[in-house]
Amino acid sequence: MRQSQLFTKTRKEAPADEVAKNAQLLIRAGYIHKEMAGVYAYLPLGFCVVEKIKQIVREEMNAIASQELIMTSLQRKELWERTDRWSDEMVDVWFKSELKAGGEVGFGWSHEEPIGEMLKGHLSSYKDLPISVYQFQTKLRNETRAKSGIMRGREFVMKDMYSFAADEASHVAYYEATKPAYMNVFRRVGVGDDTFVTFAAGGAFTKFSHEFQTICEAGEDVIYINREKGIAINEEVLNEETLSSLGVTKDELEMVKTAEVGNIFNFGQQKATDLGLAYKNEVGETVAPFMGSYGIGVTRLMGVLVEKFADDKGIVWPKSVAPFTVHLVGLNLEDEVVRDWVNGIYQNLIEHGIETLFDDRDARPGEKFADSDLMGMPYRVVASRKGREEGTFEVVTRATGEVRRLTEEELYADFDNDPNT
Amino acid sequence: MRQSQLFTKTRKEAPADEVAKNAQLLIRAGYIHKEMAGVYAYLPLGFCVVEKIKQIVREEMNAIASQELIMTSLQRKELWERTDRWSDEMVDVWFKSELKAGGEVGFGWSHEEPIGEMLKGHLSSYKDLPISVYQFQTKLRNETRAKSGIMRGREFVMKDMYSFAADEASHVAYYEATKPAYMNVFRRVGVGDDTFVTFAAGGAFTKFSHEFQTICEAGEDVIYINREKGIAINEEVLNEETLSSLGVTKDELEMVKTAEVGNIFNFGQQKATDLGLAYKNEVGETVAPFMGSYGIGVTRLMGVLVEKFADDKGIVWPKSVAPFTVHLVGLNLEDEVVRDWVNGIYQNLIEHGIETLFDDRDARPGEKFADSDLMGMPYRVVASRKGREEGTFEVVTRATGEVRRLTEEELYADFDNDPNT
């Protein structure tokens, strides 16, 4: 894409009321717009990052045989009253409103209840199981405090998945299969080494749930990890019982600040029982299925990537989620010969299948470089009069600052040979 | 996809309270789930149709240089008060709620105000224009009455686009360019011949707006058309002045019932003025841009397709939006030889790039055929023991009922030669 066509502009300062680094940088670089605290619009570049993260998540969920659908934001009061999750005393993040036609409605902050209710129309026999469904839903949560940018929003995109199984063995097998699928997601977006499957509070149904916690200074959580043993424990369940059951002592653990990018819950049969969801088993008995729920905070994950990889010049995107792989910065474009040459380079990059943002603007080199650093594409390719004369480009790797001079052939070969681009 | 893996089931009856044909059929065939009146979840097959329609719209909007983004559902009261569109007296479809942190919020039923506000951070000079942006947004509207299934929802997917131009000529040029782009969409989903660019009430800024009205008995509108002259007039502006300005008499017009699948509004400079959006022109004056807004009701369009093409057996999808092109119905699958052979056919169809739903269920032929008719894929391919022995398949075109017997080679050739598949 030609940057002169991109309607968003970078800016020197973030809004004064924005205290989170992720939102400050994303606003300054033109990725997001702040509607109000905890509520952000995703402008073309930001929309692109969200879609790339979603596509990675989608591929991994499809790979474990989950089926994508989309539930509704509007929620019926009666449905949530049945499980005693309607009242503000029980759930403190509801947005609620009145139907003009009469009656109260809520706005979806979670979707176990409607998923369970919907499934009553499709699940009747043990032959229908197992079932796994997921959605990318815009969740609305009436958070009292929203100061973490896109890492804790009042409106945010979440992938939530729900599994249903006829027996405990297949239920546990699916629950366990989600762990590598989740880790694939976090590895593919570049945080695999810093993300830990973490023992956390299990709630009423099971002893533990599992959180996916990514080391991040801006995170809200504290966990204790032992990298060698591959053990991570949320501080909320750090006690003698947990330690001894995991065969680790507190001395062996390192305390780290983290952000929860995903979580998985095993509900056993209790949740389906509460929801009134049941099926007929092989001997004709009516029984509740085993149920699990599995979340990934898509927009939160995007915020974590900004927080973790940004430097003092701006955002640094992992290649897998960057809006463009290459930021082609054209200089001396007022010279027609140079301009034609750089336009040709831009076309060639596109023909090589390399996603390219072409800074074709009439602006000073310093401004172009600063914007390029702020916007954070993995590679900056500088094409100038001098480069044309010498037949080379300056190629800067954003993450490392490494500067190389490559010929055009070397440039394409570099991307053709890089499995990540 | 193997139908035995698809979690949704067909059903004989729609919910008793569902009166719209589109929703009755879509519920019975497992495409959607009714959450409450006017609020539907999209199950895997329905989600797939919505995504296919969205992709067609996306391609056509990208082709007229619009940039995709996503605004928010949560809306600030102060923003809408500025344009006097917050109060229930002025806008009767608001859902509103209270922030726990204090203050009232609304839920987006339209997005001119937030788009205009967002653009203030990116539009400063005439050099920044023109700009066109669009989104696929889940709109929430507190409709008093919602009895038209997915054709008028309280929660529905809309493509809304907004254009901004420095002068009237380029503004009008863009406005006019959206008409063929919109007609491309309607042609591609199969209703091009029955969709009319229709003169409608223009509101405060212009004499006319333009609606895209599709002939549909279940529609809520009445328009008057002359196919030869290519003229269509909404009854709301059918008067002597309109008729004479268009050079047509009432006798030359045919009255038809229609559904509004799209609309485009020319706001002139008034809307941007109301929103406080301005830029510096070439001589340094601060002026308001010309603005247009352009909607397509994505889920409504899906409903219109069901209403228009369904027959007494069920849904009939146009190929461009069908979840699968082929419904491969396997019979005699209890015979291992037949089963292996049909499995091979399924693999071959996939390898030929033909999207295929494979009914591999243990069910009676009559049940499979009835489900296939109800679900509405464009082609049914029946693979049975008899067919294996004869080396042919029964191929039924859902829309026409045409039955052919084709060899496997003829089958692939048929799809390879069909530009629509």
CB-CB under 8 Å, A138 with B44: no
Taking only the tens place, the pLDDT of each residue in B322-350 is: 999 999 999 999 999 999 999 999 999 99
Same domain, B355 and B263: no
Q: Which of A72, A122, A155 sits opposite B7 (nearest CB)?
A: A122
State the Rg of chain B over Cα.
25
E strand or H helix at A158, and its extent? strand A155-165
Over residues A269-278, the mean pLDDT reads: 95
Same domain, A189 and A57: yes
pLDDT higher than 50, residue A151: yes
HSE-CB at B309 with a 13 A cutoff on CA atoms is: 28
Q: What is the pLDDT of residue A2?
A: 97
Taking only the tens place, the pLDDT of each residue in A218-255 is: 999 999 999 999 999 999 999 999 999 999 999 999 99
Over residues A192-211, the mean pLDDT reads: 90
pLDDT higher than 70, residue A420: no
B34-43, B205-214, B247-256: least confident range: B205-214
Number of domains in chain A: 2
A222 in B contact zone (CB under 8 Å): no
Q: Which of B72, B138, B142 sits opposite A99 (nearest CB)?
A: B142
Please check whether residue A2 lies inside any domain of the structure. Answer: no
Same domain, B299 and B333: no
Q: What is the CATH number of the domain that holds A338?
A: 3.40.50.800
Report which DSSP code applies to A378: S
CB-CB under 8 Å, B69 with A46: yes
CB-CB under 8 Å, B72 with A39: yes
Domain boundary among B309, B343, B378: B309
Same domain, A115 and A241: yes
Same domain, B293 and B332: no
CB-CB under 8 Å, B92 with A122: no
Residue A148 DSSP SS3: coil
Taking only the tens place, the pLDDT of each residue in A22-40 is: 999 999 999 999 999 999 9
Q: Which of A33, A39, A133 sits opposite B118 (nearest CB)?
A: A33
C-beta of residue B113 within 8 angstroms of C-beta of residue B85: yes
CA A152, chain centre distance (Å)? 12
Shortest CA distance from A106: residue in chain B = B97
Provide, as residue numbers in chain B, all residues whose Cβ is less than 8 Å from the Cβ of A6: 67
C-beta of residue A374 within 8 angstroms of C-beta of residue A368: no
B52 in A contact zone (CB under 8 Å): no
In sequence order, what are the beta bridge partners of A197?
A212
Same domain, A180 and A290: yes
Average pLDDT of every residue of chain B? 96
Over residues B29-36, the mean pLDDT reads: 97
B123 in A contact zone (CB under 8 Å): yes
Which candidate, B377, B279, B294, B398, places its Cα nearest to that of B3? Answer: B377
A 55-94 → B contacts, CB under 8 A: 65, 67-76, 92-93
Q: A1: which residues sit within 8 A by CB, 6+ positions away?
A: A324, A356, A357, A358
Domain boundary among B280, B309, B338: B309
Residue B178 DSSP SS3: helix
Please check whether residue B88 lies inside any domain of the structure. Answer: no
C-beta of residue B318 within 8 angstroms of C-beta of residue B308: no
CB-CB under 8 Å, B8 with A97: no
Q: Which of B92, B105, B133 sits opposite A7 (nearest CB)?
A: B133
Residues spanned by the domain of A338: 326-417
Same domain, A186 and A332: no
CB-CB under 8 Å, A69 with B142: no
**E strand intervals along B21-89:** 32-36, 39-42, 67-68, 74-76
Q: What is the pLDDT of residue B99?
A: 97
Q: What is the pLDDT of residue B206?
A: 80
Residue B328 DSSP SS3: strand
Q: A410: which residues sit within 8 A by CB, 6+ positions away?
A: none
Provide, as residue numbers in chain A, all residues whose Cβ is less than 8 Å from the Cβ of B68: 44, 47
User: ipTM of this predicted complex?
Assistant: 0.96
A 20-39 → B contacts, CB under 8 A: 30, 33, 35-37, 39
pLDDT higher than 70, residue B92: yes
Please check whether residue B267 lies inside any domain of the structure. Answer: yes
CB-CB under 8 Å, A41 with B72: yes
CB-CB under 8 Å, B138 with A74: no
Domain boundary among B309, B338, B367: B309
A357 in B contact zone (CB under 8 Å): no
Tokens of B391: 């080396």
Please check whether residue B123 lies inside any domain of the structure. Answer: yes
Provide, as residue numbers in chain B, all residues whose Cβ is less than 8 Å from the Cβ of A96: 97
Q: What is the CATH number of the domain that holds A121?
A: 3.30.930.10
Q: What is the pLDDT of residue A417?
A: 65
Please check whether residue A347 lies inside any domain of the structure. Answer: yes
Taking only the tens place, the pLDDT of each residue in B348-399 is: 999 999 999 999 999 999 999 999 999 999 999 999 999 999 999 999 999 9
Same domain, A173 and A305: yes
A230 in B contact zone (CB under 8 Å): no
CB-CB under 8 Å, A142 with B100: yes
Q: Which of B7, B40, B70 sits opposite A42 (nearest CB)?
A: B70
Distance CA A128, CA A282 (A): 12
Peptide bond into B130 cis (omega under 30): yes
Q: What is the pLDDT of residue A255?
A: 97
For the stretch A298-336, what's the b/e string if a residue is b when 16 or more beta carbons lie within 10 angstroms of its beta carbon? bbbbbbbbbbbbbeeebbbbbbbbbbbbbbbbbbbbeee
Please check whether residue B5 lies inside any domain of the structure. Answer: no
B 132-191 → A contacts, CB under 8 A: 133, 138, 140, 142-146, 154-155
Nearest CA distance, B160 vs chain A (angstrom): 14
A12 in B contact zone (CB under 8 Å): no
Report which DSSP code applies to B316: -
Please check whether residue A5 lies inside any domain of the structure. Answer: no
Q: What is the pLDDT of residue B417?
A: 65
Please check whether residue B156 lies inside any domain of the structure. Answer: yes
Same domain, A127 and A214: yes
C-beta of residue B106 within 8 angstroms of C-beta of residue B77: yes
What is the DSSP track for B248-272? Answer: --GGG-EEEEEEEEEEEEEEETHHH
In sequence order, what are the beta bridge partners of A265?
A293
Q: What is the pLDDT of residue B418?
A: 62
CB-CB under 8 Å, B144 with A101: yes
Same domain, B114 and B146: yes
Going by pLDDT thresholds of 50, 70 and 90, the confidence category of residue A421 is very low
Same domain, A201 and A53: yes
Question: Which of A45, A75, A105 is the mutation pick for testing B, counting most B CBs within 10 A?
Answer: A105
Same domain, A290 and A408: no
pLDDT higher than 90, residue A413: no
